[in-house]
Amino acid sequence: MTDTQTQTKLKIFSGIQPTGRKTLGNYSGGFRQYAQTQEVGEGFFCIVDLHSITVDYDPDELRSSTLDLAAMLFATGLDPERSTIFCQSHVTAHAEAAWLLSSVTSYGQLGRMTQFKDKSENREFIAAGLFTYPVLMAGDILLYQTDVVPIGDDQRQHLELARDVAERFNYRFGETFRVPDGQYPEIGGRIMDLQEPTKKMSTTMSSEQGAVYVADTPDQIRKKFKSAVTDSEREIRYDPAAKAGVSNLLEIMSVATGETIDDLVARFDGSGYGDLKEAVGESVVALLTPIRERFEALRADERELQRLLAVGAEKARRAAEPTLELMYDRMGFVRPDAGRFFGAARPRGL
């Protein structure tokens, strides 16, 4: 591959938090899309540990969840030879970029973030980091001159904010960042809680029975689908706007098997809810069993996970540094080693 080809390769970036056990929702909006997009460009996939300290957390759990998540990213198909998989805290540019970008982020816009409103509701202590969280996320994305950000529907508002921050910086200090696009799955962008289908399936907010975890055993998965809440009409139809249990089950099965919703609706026409729930459960068992087996094997070798993360961090540092330097330069900072970057290579297209 020539230099120009490398330079024009589509840049993909996404981040995922090392909190709690990852759900089928994360698989649908996150992991599944990461593995697909790494095939079409240069992928950076970041374990956003700095984001995880914005709500109450346990340091020992953060340590083990970080390694869990690394193993999960590899188990769901990320290839460390092809993509860059790393921890946010290993690349100090992320924390620096967040501070610099806070100067072009609107306080009012941060206050309108629904995730901030949801997570701060009824809390005695609200960390300042929960409020500035989207600035850190904007930095994550912009440091890599990202074209595409594969995410679930719940991250739309944050992505819009990242675009606004990029545009404001470019306008104020000169063309510096690519303005990234979000990529959302057509089906399965928002998997709902099995017990409360009006709420999204969540690592932190769902009940044990309401969320299916990627590392659940087949029996746990079957049980959860058996007790899933369905609708009152006793008819199998798809109406995503209604946020109903049956539509959610159909989406889950489509994600698990790759069949279209129309095909599934036709297949289950006339069947009872019990049959549908059993079939969806089995499709999820078939999807997650090989992932769980790979996860367990990878998770057992912490030294290897650490080694892979160190390789990823080194690649990420090299990729992020030119943009961070350009930010400092454009903003008027005197750098300790002026001239090291400028005159030499600048980030792609700048």
Q: Which CB sits closer to ligand TRP, 30 or 245?
A: 30
- Which candidate, 139, 170, 240, 259, places its Cα nearest to that of 198? 240
30 closest CA partner among 209, 190, 246: 190
Which residues, 4 to 23, sit near ligand TRP by CB under 6 A? 13-17
Among ligand AMP, ligand TRP, none, what does residue 140 contact (CB within 5–8 Å per kind)? ligand TRP
User: Following DSSP, what letter does each residue of 78-102 receive, concatenated?
Assistant: --TTTSEEEEGGG-THHHHHHHHHG
Which of ligand AMP, ligand TRP, none does 203 bind, CB closer than 5 to 8 A by kind?
ligand AMP
Sheet holding 84-87, edge to edge: 84-87, 42-47, 11-16, 148-150, 181-183
Site string for ligand AMP, 16-55 (x = CB under 6 A): xx-------xx-xxx-------------------------
Q: Does 32 bind ligand TRP (CB under 6 A)?
A: no
**DSSP bridge partners of 252:** none
User: Quick count: other Cβ atoms within 10 Å of Cβ 180?
Assistant: 22
Site string for ligand AMP, 200-239 (x = CB under 6 A): xx-x------------------------------------
Task: Give the residue with the Cβ less far from ligand AMP, 146 or 155.
Answer: 155
Strands 84-87, 148-150: pairing is: unpaired
Pick the piece of the chain touching ligand AMP (CB under 6 A) from 196-204, 239-247, 315-323, 341-349.
Answer: 196-204
Residues in contact with ligand AMP, total (CB under 6 A)? 17
Q: How far apart are CA 44 and CA 30, in angstroms?
A: 13
Residue 285 is a binding residue for ligand TRP (CB under 6 A): no
Measured CA distances, 95 to 72, 76, 279 (Å) = 25, 28, 46
Q: CA 305 to CA 80: how far, in whole Å?
A: 11
Give the interface with ligand TRP as residue ranges (CB under 6 A): 13-17, 48, 51, 137, 140-141, 149, 151, 155, 158
Binding site for ligand AMP (CB under 6 A): 16-17, 25-26, 28-30, 151-152, 154-155, 189-191, 200-201, 203
